Amino acid sequence: MTRLSKKNIASYLSLSFLLVFFFSCQKEDQVEQSLAFDPQKDHEEADGIYPYDWLSTYGFFEGDLKSLTPSQKLIEYEPASSLFTDYALKSRFVWMPEDSKAAIINDKLTLPVGSVLIKNFYYPEDYSKPEGKRRIIETRLMIHQEKGWEAFPYIWNDSQTDAKLKVVGGETTVSFVNEKGEDQVINYLIPNKNQCKTCHNENEKLDPLGVEVKHLNHEKDFDGKKINQLAYWTEIGKLEGFEGVENHPSMVDYSNESLPLADRAKAYLDINCAHCHREEGPASTSGLFLSYEQTDPLKLGINKTPVAAGNGAGSHQFDIVPGKADESILVHRMNSTAVGVAMPEIGRTSIHQEGVELIRAWINEMK
Amino acid sequence: MKAKYIPFFSLFLLVIITSCSETSNEQLFDSSLLEKRSAEEVEKVVEDFILAEDSTTIEIGEGFFDLKTQLILDSKENITIQGAGMEKTVLSFRNLKTGGEGMKIVGKNITVKDLTIEDAPGDGIKAQHTDGLTLRRVHATWTHGDKSKNGTYALYPVQCKNVVIDECIAAHSRDAGIYVGQSENIIVKNSLAYGNVAGIEIENCDNAEVFGNTARNNSGGILVFNLPGLPKSDGKGTKIYNNKIIDNNHKNFATPIGEGPNGNTVTMIPPGSGVVLLAAKEVEVFDNEILRNKTVGVAIASYQITGFPTDAPNWSPYTHDIFLHGNSYDRSEGFPDLSRELGQLVSMYNAHGKAKTQDIVYDGIFDESRGNSIAQNPMNICISEPGLENLYFTQFDLSEGEENIKSSADVSPFSNCQVNVTTDVSFISSK
């Protein structure tokens, strides 16, 4: 896995590949042409030239692929706060080439060339039993090539035996029972390869999101032991430059209700919005900057008029009206699923109720 | 200072407005008559964008392409996206379920030619961080009968450099048809904008020339704005010439029927506005036909008029260094708008009599650090129109708030000067 030139992806995209189609514009005349998604798998050699056609070829997981049992070389990681993706659960791993390690310089975490981030998106049938039967929808790989990061979406087949590279993305319907025991159906959209950069974008270069010092500088369970993730990476020889939890920034878990509301709200906005809404991100055009560190009220949207919000502004004048969540564009856009209104623009087709409530409470508390 | 201008919001609360603004759903052609391309052919276009190599042409053939995902050209150089003609290649984003714009471009030296973009939920084409963008014979429109479903901008270069928009058509945007934002070195020429809230808008830009265009049947024809709190904080240097800016009397549909303006500045534009300059700096408007815009031909306003906060770094709310000359006007079209406060201001408080269309209005808001009387023309507003004595000019005095709005028809403080506006787009004019 040393030579990292890019294959001609076009050769993978055979027309025999059948995609699941759903025409679901209107509920009353919903037509479901549910073609099985079971592309024929050819033998593929792990020749070190990325991307591979099939997820299994990378050898990241052991045994039955759908168990997602990581090989010894993978490190599982978890950001303190998680990006909402239509209630999908995620498991995340990083692989770094042998004899190389990540580094923290000036609080910026850099992974060595050759590293791969592996993120699996799945739905348990029943959220009250998250370890029970599940359906894996997609696995996204981000590969750190010589010339920078590149993202590759793999879509799982119906029989859950493997996942195939599909640069044009796709669409599927997911059913599950939520924690309250209610039946849920979500029209899940798998982004096309270039849409990845809608979020993963720093100064127009593809960039990982969750793999930042502030997101990882907290404890996680490793084999039953709670250890700071960055300390663990250091301990196993995969990180240098970490000087202890207190000496680096860290962000809270927004779902932890014992923490101050403002910290939770800003953590939520950071992981869900700030990848675009920051000076280095595509939504810099708006002047609305929502990172955890932001303290300028105007940049946070307080009494700030929108710029190019179009329909997104609804009948409201300002991004945030202190004390008045329901007159704030921020809440209006989080609380919508209409394309052109809904924020974030991609990655969700449902409303994150808990997220809306958190931001609403934060704005209502503002003076 | 600021507080004095805020009350305009509550000014006409009791006036019941039944304005008779017009609306339009005119389409250039009927795209439903084109042959529909297969799912595989549509997918091939998506792939071509994703897999594009530098210095190549992406050809899109004839037909109607029903796209379910965005077309994104990411960080590529010297690419031409070539359709078979505005009336032959149609990319429809009506069934897009995620993402804002239909086509998104980031890169260097990118050209899009000869195609139509329809029904994108957000913007038709958005180009960002692109140095060298040419849109030629690109048509972007919305075909929903209900215009409240339409997207924001038809053609939307933002944070770009060296932009040429030529022979394009932009229709039915809920904000601006051709909107160039936070960019520098811009040509918008020989294009048509109709049925939009704003026809052509230049916002927070430097060095722009807008000429040979027709902006008709929009709520506002051509706008030059500078808005606060943006990364490109202010802009200057725009020439607007040889344009037809006519019949811009379309209903302002930026917000739903029955709802007033929201925080988007364009929602305040009164139907019947020809040219609107807001917090604009160094703008020359000359040799245009500004005809039959029922509220006002040219409006010169400072940002305070919006009532929104005006504190922002490296930005000024004032409009200054404006030069109008050689334009023709026709105020024969109906009565000024009453659906927007700025329309009401013109209609009720102009210096020539209630419900009289104005050729040129100036809000008279000035920066006291530049002078202590409007009679000194501290903001350097220069009006040198032929037959000026026959035009309806109003300068408002809003310094005493809504209780005592004053106006003057005296153009003499503004009529004996010129402004030297400098633009240079010669190095992109051959593109």
Give the per-residue pLDDT at B21.
59
**Range A27-44 average pLDDT:** 56
Q: What is the pLDDT of residues B392-410, one digit of tens each?
A: 999 999 999 888 999 999 9
Give the per-residue pLDDT at A9.
37
A306–B263: do the CB atoms touch at under 8 Å? Answer: yes
Chain B residues inside the 8 Å CB shell of A278: none
Please check whether residue A245 lies inside any domain of the structure. no
Res. A15: pLDDT tops 70: no
Q: Between residues A36 and B266, which one has the greater pLDDT?
A: B266
Please tell me whether residues A194 and A267 are part of one structural domain: no
Please tell me whether residues A152 and A209 are part of one structural domain: yes
Chain A residues inside the 8 Å CB shell of B259: 315
Helix (H, G, I), strand (E, B) or coil at B213: coil
Q: Residue A306 carries which side chain, given as an amino acid letter?
A: P
Q: What is the pLDDT of residues B59-108, one digit of tens each?
A: 999 999 999 999 999 999 999 999 999 999 999 999 998 888 999 999 99
B49–A305: do the CB atoms touch at under 8 Å? Answer: no
Please tell me whether residues A145 and A267 are part of one structural domain: no
Q: Between residues A125 and A48, which one has the greater pLDDT?
A: A125
Give the domain range for residue A185. 9-228
Res. A38: pLDDT tops 80: no
Please check whether residue A263 lies inside any domain of the structure. yes
Chain B residues inside the 8 Å CB shell of A169: 69
Please tell me whether residues A206 and A303 are part of one structural domain: no
Mean pLDDT of chain A: 88
Say if residues B180 and B203 touch (Cβ distance below 8 Å): yes
Res. A37: pLDDT tops 90: no
CA distance B255 to chain A (A): 7
Helix (H, G, I), strand (E, B) or coil at B157: strand
Record the tokens describing residue B143, joined without a space. Answer: 């075909």
Res. A146: pLDDT tops 70: yes
Q: Which of B47, B264, B311 sits opposite A10 (nearest CB)?
A: B47
Residue B69: count of CB within 10 angstroms of its CB: 26
How would you write chain A as a 3-class SS string?
Answer: CCCCCCCCHHHHCCCCCCCCEEECCCCCCCEEECCCCCCCCCCCCCCCCCCCCEHHHHCCEECCHHHCEECCCEEEECCCCCCCCCCCEEEEEEECCCCCCEEEECCEEECCCCCEEEEEEEEECECCCCCCCEEEEEEEEEEEECCEEEEEEEEECCCCCCEEECCCCEEEEEEEECCCCCEEEEEEEECCHHHHHHHCEECCEECCCCCCHHHHCCEEEECCEEEEHHHHHHHCCCEECCCCHHHCCCCCCCCCCCCCHHHHHHHHHHHHHCCCCCCCCHHHHHCCCCCCCCCCHHHHCECCCCCCCHHHHCCCCECECCCCHHHEHHHHHHCCCCCCCCCCCCCCCCCCHHHHHHHHHHHHHCC
Please tell me whether residues A280 and A132 are part of one structural domain: no
Chain B residues inside the 8 Å CB shell of A321: none
Among chain B residues, the shortest Cα distance to A195 is held by B72
Give the per-residue pLDDT at A65.
95
Q: Which of B100, B182, B263 sits opposite A317 (nearest CB)?
A: B263
What is the C-alpha to C-alpha distance for residues B72 and A198, in angstroms, rounded to an integer? 10
Give the per-residue pLDDT at A40.
76
Please check whether residue A295 lies inside any domain of the structure. yes
B97–A305: do the CB atoms touch at under 8 Å? Answer: no
Chain A residues inside the 8 Å CB shell of B153: 308, 310
Q: Which of B74, B151, B179 sits opposite A340 (nearest CB)?
A: B151
Res. A6: pLDDT tops 90: no
Please tell me whether residues A288 and A224 are part of one structural domain: no
What is the C-alpha to C-alpha distance for residues B143 and A32, in angstroms, rounded to an integer? 26
CA distance A315 to chain B (A): 5
Among chain B residues, the shortest Cα distance to A201 is held by B74
Please tell me whether residues A72 and A219 are part of one structural domain: yes
Residue where a domain stops, chosen among A172, A207, A228: A228
Res. B1: pLDDT tops 50: no
Q: What stretch of H or E contains B104?
A: strand B103-118
Place of tokens 């955890």: A292
Q: What is the pLDDT of residues A95-120, one digit of tens each?
A: 999 999 999 999 999 999 999 999 99
Record the tokens describing residue A127, joined without a space. Answer: 């959220």
As for how many domains chain A has, the answer is 2
Please check whether residue A338 lies inside any domain of the structure. yes
Q: Which of A25, A284, A304 sits opposite B95 (nearest CB)?
A: A25
**Range A279-308 average pLDDT:** 93
Give the per-residue pLDDT at B7.
42
Please tell me whether residues A49 and A178 are part of one structural domain: yes
What is the C-alpha to C-alpha distance for residues B358 and B391, in angstroms, rounded to an integer? 8
Please tell me whether residues A222 and A313 are part of one structural domain: no
Please tell me whether residues A205 and A295 are part of one structural domain: no
Say if residues B294 and B333 touch (Cβ distance below 8 Å): yes
**Range B129-134 average pLDDT:** 98
Q: What is the pLDDT of residues A153-176, one digit of tens each?
A: 999 999 999 999 999 998 899 999
Please check whether residue A147 lies inside any domain of the structure. yes
Q: What is the pLDDT of residues B227-241, one digit of tens each?
A: 999 999 999 999 999
What is the C-alpha to C-alpha distance for residues A236 and A233, in angstroms, rounded to an integer? 5
CA distance A57 to chain B (A): 22
Give the per-residue pLDDT at A8.
40
Chain A residues inside the 8 Å CB shell of B256: 315
CA distance A329 to chain B (A): 9
Give the per-residue pLDDT at A307.
86
Say if residues B297 and B358 touch (Cβ distance below 8 Å): yes
Please check whether residue A187 lies inside any domain of the structure. yes
Residue A185: count of CB within 10 angstroms of its CB: 11
CA distance A284 to chain B (A): 7
Please check whether residue A1 lies inside any domain of the structure. no
Q: Does A10 touch chain B (CB under 8 A)?
A: yes
A225-228 and A219-222 strand pairing: antiparallel
From residue A95, alpha-carbon distances to A52, B12, B123, B233 in Å are: 16, 65, 38, 42
Please tell me whether residues A101 and A197 are part of one structural domain: yes
Q: Could you tell me the pLDDT band of residue A249, with boundaries at 50, 70 and 90?
A: very high
Res. A7: pLDDT tops 50: no
**Of residues B381, B157, B378, the one with CA closest to residue B281:** B381
Please tell me whether residues A221 and A286 are part of one structural domain: no
CA distance B54 to chain A (A): 14
Q: Between residues B188 and B15, which one has the greater pLDDT?
A: B188
A191–B98: do the CB atoms touch at under 8 Å? Answer: yes
What is the C-alpha to C-alpha distance for residues A33 and B215, in angstroms, rounded to an integer? 45
Which residues are CB-contacts of B12 (< 8 A; sequence separation ≥ 6)? B338, B341, B344
Please check whether residue A248 lies inside any domain of the structure. no
Among chain A residues, the shortest Cα distance to B197 is held by A310
Give the per-residue pLDDT at A310.
80
Mean pLDDT of chain B: 93
